[in-house]
Amino acid sequence: MTKVVPLPEGILVDTNFRTTLQQVVNIADPSNAVAAAYLVPAVIAFNPHGSLELTIPHFRNGNIRTYLKDKPVDEQRRMLLKCSKALDAVHGAFGAHGNIKPENFLVTDDLDIRILFEFTRPCKSHEELPREEDSPPVHTINGDRAGFGSVIYEILTGTPPFYPHNYGRRMFKNLEELKLMERRNLTDDIWGLLTDCWSPGNPSARPSAGEVTARLTALPASRMVNN
Say yes or no to pLDDT of 121 above 50.
no
pLDDT for res 131: 52
In this prediction, residues 23-50 reach a mean pLDDT of 74
pLDDT for res 55: 80
DSSP-derived letter for residue 111 is S
Question: Cα separation of 198 and 145, whole Å?
Answer: 7
Q: Which among 54, 170, 51 is positioned nearest to 116, based on CA atoms?
A: 54
Task: Give 83 or 18, the one with higher predicted confidence.
Answer: 83
Q: Are 87 and 12 in contact (CB under 8 A)?
A: no
Beta partners for 54? 5, 44
Out of 25-39, 101-115, 183-197, which region has the weakest mean confidence (pLDDT)?
Answer: 25-39
pLDDT for res 127: 43
Task: Give me the helix-helix angle, 73-94 and 141-157, nearest 10°.
Answer: 170
Question: Cα separation of 35 and 42, whole Å?
Answer: 10
In which band, very low, low, confident or very high, does the pLDDT at 124 lie, cut at 50, 70 and 90? Answer: very low
Give me the domains of the chain, ranges plus CATH numbers. 2-57 (no CATH), 64-223 (1.10.510.10)
DSSP-derived letter for residue 99 is -
Task: Give 201 or 11, the one with higher predicted confidence.
Answer: 201
In which band, very low, low, confident or very high, does the pLDDT at 11 lie, cut at 50, 70 and 90? Answer: very low
pLDDT for res 192: 94
Q: Are 117 and 97 in contact (CB under 8 A)?
A: yes
